[in-house]
Amino acid sequence: MWHLLSLDAPTVAMLWTWFIARSNHIRLPTTAIIAMGLAVWMLYAADRLLDARLASADADLERRHYFHRDRQRQFLAGIVSASLALGLLLPGLAAESIHLYLILGAMLFAYFILIHAGSTSLDDQPRRMPKELAVGVFFSAATFIPTVARQPAIRLALLPAAFLFAFVCSLNCLFIYAWEHAAVVSIAHPATRLALGHLKELTIVAALFGCCFAVLSHGSWAVPLACTTAATLLMLLHLNRRHLDPTTLRAAADLCLLTPILFVPFLQRL
């Protein structure tokens, strides 16, 4: 239900937003964390509802799509309620955060239009943009914004960690695509097909880069090490994927991104 209710991505987003800030000695207000969760839930629920509208034209939908389609009214009511709550929280956010989120939001809106506008089948979407790669970039940018908005001086220093987290988020999406669409990889965007053909190598690169970055970062080890752990867990999950049903496997992929929990005790000592 954590996955079917679209609560997995918001949980990951809130945890990483807090974790990135805390590992850089920044304490975010609770409102910033809650606002992140609400915004991400709205986006993921809306994306699944938009995908579910194609059910009559494409039977190759996953359980999460049917779950959202069958409860469309409840999810729409939830999105409206979440948007109202988010509006109430906005005045409590840092002005620079809002400015950066507006820029990211405009890019995300253009992405939604590109992916969904005019689509008559889910098969249309992969050809327009490498969705699995774009999601990683947007997700990482959103979680790093609260930190860089409060300490602009560390933006350049955080770029490697931001790229690494985006890489791991994209790996998460790529593994899920490989599991759910193994028979139709040929319809994927060329960039996605290339990445799918080298998933194991890319995961090893991400894990090794995270280890090296953690060793050489002079104190900022937490984020790269959490990324390395997440990449390793995704690979282990991939190797044991045949032992899990599709919905559980999909939820477990997002569970692999909750690795910051493992490092919380160490952060408390910083």
List, in sequence order, the alpha helices (H) in the chain. 8-23, 30-52, 63-70, 72-89, 95-116, 124-128, 131-150, 155-180, 190-196, 199-216, 222-239, 246-255, 260-267
Neighbours of 99 (CB within 10 A): 12
Neighbours of 7 (CB within 10 A): 18
**CA–CA separation, 71 and 242 (whole Å):** 29
Hey, what are 36's tokens? 């992140």
CA proximity to 52, closest of 65, 71, 37, 34: 65
How many Å apart are CA 72 and CA 70, to the nearest integer? 6
Give the CA count within 13 Å in the CB-facing half-sphere of 227.
32
59 three-state secondary structure: coil
One pLDDT digit (tens) per residue for the chain, 270 residues: 888 899 999 999 999 999 999 999 899 999 999 999 999 999 999 888 887 776 555 555 678 878 888 888 999 999 999 999 999 998 888 889 999 999 998 888 887 777 666 555 555 555 556 777 888 999 999 999 999 999 988 888 899 999 999 999 999 999 998 888 765 565 567 787 788 888 999 999 999 999 998 888 766 789 999 999 999 999 999 999 888 888 899 899 999 999 999 998 887 655
Nearest alpha-carbon partner for 226 in 177, 176, 174, 266: 266
The 10 Å Cβ neighbour count of residue 252 is 17
Question: Which residue carries 């220093």 as its tokens?
Answer: 157
Question: pTM for the full model?
Answer: 0.88
